[in-house]
Amino acid sequence: MSPQITLQVNGEPRTCNAHTSLPTFLTQLGLNPRLVAVEYNGEILHRQFWEQTEMQPNDRLEIVTIVGGG
């Protein structure tokens, strides 16, 4: 089992297992990965890199839910 790490999500401390992939982490937060945009450590993270992005201690994520309609 991986050790627990702490990171910041929308300014709030969150924990997860070390080396959790971004899509897995989003799912653990109760989010649908297809319906969010993610800023990872100050940079917009393009979806093509999500699977290979693993959560590390002190990472900073800003997660925005995409809302459709008009």
Contact 6, 58 (CB under 8 A): yes
Q: Which two tokens stand for residue 25?
A: 């982490």
* pLDDT band per the 50, 70, 90 thresholds, residue 1: low
pTM of the model: 0.89
Say what percent of the chain tops pLDDT 90.
89
Query: Quick one: which H or E segment has residue 27?
Result: helix 22-28
Alpha-carbon distance values, 32 to 1, 5, 15, 35, 63 (Å): 25, 22, 18, 6, 11
What's the whole-number average pLDDT of the chain? 94
18-34 tens-digit pLDDT: 999 999 999 999 999 99
Q: Which amino acid is at 50?
A: W
